[in-house]
Structure 1
Amino acid sequence: MALSSAEVTKVSELERLKTLHNGTKQQLTFSDAEFERRLAGLRRIMAAKELDAVILTSYHGIKYYSDFLYTTFGRNYALVVTADSSTTITANIDAGMPWRTSYGDNIVYTDWKRDNFYFGLQEALKRNGVKASRIGVEDDALPLMTRQAIAATFDGATLVDVSQDAMRQRMIKSAEEIEVIKHGARIGDIGGEAIKAAIREGITEYEVALIGTEAMVHEIAKTFPHREVRDTWVWFQSGINTDGAHNWATTRKLERGDILSLNCFPMTSGYYTALERTLFLGEPDERSLQVWNANVEVHKRGLELIKPGAVCKDIAAELNEIFISHNLLPNRTFGYGHSFGVLSHYYGREAGLELREDIDTVLEPGMVVSMEPMVTILDGEPGAGGYREHDILVIGEDGGVENITKFGFGPENNIIDA
């Protein structure tokens, strides 16, 4: 039934924006000093680009500078940063949770008018006395329609991309970040052990995945009791399903002789870590063992090559030569590793720090990278399946490199006789 004119007027008078300081601020993942360090880095980017403000709209950008990880469900979110303020813009459906779980101020927008999100962006600048003529945005994760709407909201302002500069800032981890990442690696190992213990003939991939996920979620809750528990998952694959690195668990039942792929992904307050291992249920055949050992050879050499001063593309080139010697280079499925930090399978990526032939980034202290070679032999060929190992390495301030993954790899550790 249509609303009466009086009812329409009543709705139009409802608040477009709200202040919802419901409850008290909760303990965040990092200290106030850590968030101020991050914001200071962003403000240096702003100064270099002569920006009056930055409007961050990505999962990873908002999370990194405020600790708030949003759930979009068709709504927009932002973090507006000026020279002396930071304000999250969040939807009324989340009520006071974004304010409680973020660093800085918060403005809530309601659903009563379609453009209330953009009205909130304007209000964040108005409250802080900022008239923006140059605004930073994240073009790597900003939909065109949203970019156009921001440009229309701030008519006459120039929008300038800051995504690549912010990404380079995120590449270098602080001591507090590295501590969270180390916990993540430890928790991934716990998930791996739970999975390894569950492997047997007849169990389904998804049942194994649930066992690993539950083990990790309990440990995350124990380790980070003050933060939300979300997004942890497992990809457990068997047989032909191992051919891709990102293949989700299915109802396939494990059979003796199967190649298996264990992939644990604990999410600790938006920080992704990973444990990935090749296993076999029973003794592998001769060709499978050859391919597995070749991938392990690359993995071991890759672990040695990750050190300060190494260049990403040079690491990739040397590892390629090992695969060439085994006639396996065409079977390689992706690059040899990537940066860790605020990322997930649905948000974030520090694409400038990947171990690929087209990346010339130099490794330096504070970076956290993986070594994860993978080759796939197609179905019907000897040794069919996907072979993958994955360790996480922290490059220390003293030039040392610490492998924070402790779960064993290779045939000597992961042939399951169950």
Structure 2
Amino acid sequence: MDRPEFYRFHQGQKTLPFADAEYEARLAKLRAHMAAEGIDACVFTSMHCVAYYSGFLYCSFGRPYALVVTASENVTFSAGIDAAQPWRRCYGENITYTDWARNNYWRAIRSVTGTGKTIGYEGDHLTLAQKTLLDEFLSPKATADVAAASMRQRMHKSAAEITLIKAGAQVADVGGYAVKDAIKAGVREIDVAMAGRDAMELEIAKRFPDAEYRDTWIWFQSGINTDGAHNPVTARKLQAGDILSLNTFPMISGYYTALERTLFVKTVDAESLKIWEANVAAHEYGMSLLQPGASCAEVTEKINTFFAERDLLQYRTFGYGHSFGVLSHYYGREAGLELREDIDTVLEPGMVISMEPMLTIPEGTPGAGGYREHDILVINDDGNENITGYPYGPGFNVVG
């Protein structure tokens, strides 16, 4: 029996999140960078870069995947277990590698890159073991880390991306309302989270009938569980007076959006209300600062000053916002566009960024709990557009 190292398996119709012209525009910008830097081929291995340039969001399950871009070709590489699904969901060509022999993945990649070339790779993703195999199989003349350049490109959203992100923000709102409706004393966190997730998945399927559905989730936290922004859902039962943290995360074709809100069950005490209102005020002030020409560090320092004047800065635990696009809680963070003291990136039209101040008051302190509001804003020529619709603050979010 002939057992090939790799082969092409194409069946069905290609179905992509965006039009072909969108991918051609992304590849053209990448190829311009490659030409300027003398790079012959880029070997992308991360979920976010493969998805950004090809539309294919892979499921690794311990196997390596890739996208190779040369001056004339763009080819995804996938494992045989996926059959033709990667070809149907990628822009360009797809090659399937087999596991009859170890490292057929790299033999397949070599069939496109050749050897002795200058190879671009993702220094923040490729493991040391895989970099060793890249050097062994491709015998590159030189290598160049293209992770930062790709991230800078992804930070500037196209009109098509912004349209998708706006739809995602609307889906997040749907999840928020479903969560609010499910909240009452005695209900478990997991039950509330499932209600919101189901509502979002149904909404995504209605809006995007040709998409693949995966990864949409909710973090719904109560009481002490609100102290961290990324704390998992538990079976804790809600109690009257509990502080709550609503976090809805619809995923559409690899694109992440989010809604995050502070709520209370039935009643909110005076100390908690004071802190909540201060965080809401910081949230509103922060959104007003997201203007073209402002730097991330400048915005951060101004909000820091706002909290320091109210003796609350010591309760801040992380940055005030971040970029959106092809990312999730396990891939794709665009670290160059975060509202932190050490990020000097200047906001420009076409960027999409959140404002999400959070204060964590320790247990045993009046007003204990985690307070967080989160809106998504599109930077435009005149300022910004807030694309989040679910209301924030005590007037709407004392519920149950």
The reply to whether residue 403 of structure 1 matches residue 392 of structure 2 is no
Paired with 1:154 and 1:289, the residues of 2 have a C-alpha distance of 61
Paired with 1:172 and 1:265, the residues of 2 have a C-alpha distance of 21
The reply to whether residue 22 of structure 1 matches residue 11 of structure 2 is yes
Return the offset for 1:155: 1.7
Return the offset for 1:132: 4.5
Q: Secondary structure at 2:168's aligned position in 1? A: helix
Are 2:320 and 2:357, in contact at CA under 8 Å, matched by a contact in 1?
Answer: yes
Q: Percent identity?
A: 57
Return the offset for 1:399: 2.6
Return the offset for 1:400: 3.6
Paired with 1:51 and 1:401, the residues of 2 have a C-alpha distance of 36
Paired residue for 2:108, among 102, 117, 120? 120
Paired with 1:18 and 1:408, the residues of 2 have a C-alpha distance of 52
Are 1:63 and 1:342, in contact at CA under 8 Å, matched by a contact in 2?
Answer: yes
Runs of 4+ in 1 over 4 A off after TM superposition: none
Q: Secondary structure at 1:187's aligned position in 2? A: helix
Are 1:293 and 1:410, in contact at CA under 8 Å, matched by a contact in 2?
Answer: yes
Paired residue for 1:90, among 78, 97, 108? 78
Paired with 1:380 and 1:368, the residues of 2 have a C-alpha distance of 38
Q: Secondary structure at 2:62's aligned position in 1? A: coil
Return the offset for 1:156: 4.2
Return the offset for 1:114: 1.0
- The corresponding residue for 2:33 is 45
- The corresponding residue for 1:239 is 223
Paired with 1:321 and 1:280, the residues of 2 have a C-alpha distance of 27
Are 1:339 and 1:369, in contact at CA under 8 Å, matched by a contact in 2?
Answer: yes
Deviations 1:52-88 (A, max 9, x none): 1000000100000000000111100000000011000
Paired with 2:397 and 2:357, the residues of 1 have a C-alpha distance of 17
The verdict on how the C-alpha distance between 1:155 and 1:132 changes in structure 2, with shifts beyond 3 A counting, is closer
The reply to whether residue 321 of structure 1 matches residue 305 of structure 2 is yes
Q: Which amino acid aligns with 1:383?
A: G
Deviations 1:217-274 (A, max 9, x none): 0010111111101100000000000000001110000000100000000001100000
Paired residue for 1:393, among 369, 373, 377? 377
Paired residue for 1:172, among 138, 156, 169? 156
- The corresponding residue for 2:232 is 248
Paired residue for 2:64, among 76, 92, 100? 76
The reply to whether residue 298 of structure 1 matches residue 286 of structure 2 is no
Return the offset for 1:41: 0.8
Paired with 2:184 and 2:383, the residues of 1 have a C-alpha distance of 40
Q: Secondary structure at 2:14's aligned position in 1? A: coil
Q: Which amino acid aligns with 1:114?
A: R
- The corresponding residue for 2:268 is 284
Deviations 1:357-377 (A, max 9, x none): 110000000000000000101
Are 1:184 and 1:266, in contact at CA under 8 Å, matched by a contact in 2?
Answer: yes
Paired with 2:367 and 2:299, the residues of 1 have a C-alpha distance of 27
Paired with 1:124 and 1:70, the residues of 2 have a C-alpha distance of 20
* 1:148-167 equivalent positions in 2, closer than 5 A: 148-167=132-151
Q: Secondary structure at 1:369's aligned position in 2? A: strand
Return the offset for 1:125: 2.6
- The corresponding residue for 1:5 is none
Paired residue for 1:133, among 99, 117, 120? 117
Return the offset for 1:124: 2.0
- The corresponding residue for 1:3 is none
Q: Which amino acid aligns with 2:318?
A: F
Paired residue for 2:44, among 40, 53, 56? 56
Return the offset for 1:332: 0.3
- Unpaired runs of 5+ residues, structure 1, are 1-9
Paired residue for 2:347, among 355, 363, 367? 363
Q: Secondary structure at 1:412's aligned position in 2? A: helix
Return the offset for 1:157: 2.8
Q: Secondary structure at 2:9's aligned position in 1? A: coil
Paired with 1:100 and 1:132, the residues of 2 have a C-alpha distance of 31
Paired with 1:191 and 1:120, the residues of 2 have a C-alpha distance of 42
Q: Give me the CA root mean square deviation.
A: 1.0
Q: Secondary structure at 1:405's aligned position in 2? A: coil
Q: Secondary structure at 2:199's aligned position in 1? A: helix
Q: Which amino acid aligns with 2:391?
A: G
Q: How many residues of Structure 1 are paired with residues of Structure 2 in the alignment?
A: 400
- Unpaired runs of 5+ residues, structure 2, are none
Deviations 1:160-189 (A, max 9, x none): 100001100001100000000000000000
Are 1:151 and 1:157, in contact at CA under 8 Å, matched by a contact in 2?
Answer: no
Q: Which amino acid aligns with 1:161?
A: D
Paired with 2:109 and 2:191, the residues of 1 have a C-alpha distance of 45
Return the offset for 1:215: 0.2
- The corresponding residue for 2:396 is 413
Are 1:271 and 1:344, in contact at CA under 8 Å, matched by a contact in 2?
Answer: yes
Paired with 1:69 and 1:156, the residues of 2 have a C-alpha distance of 27
The verdict on how the C-alpha distance between 1:132 and 1:403 changes in structure 2, with shifts beyond 3 A counting, is farther
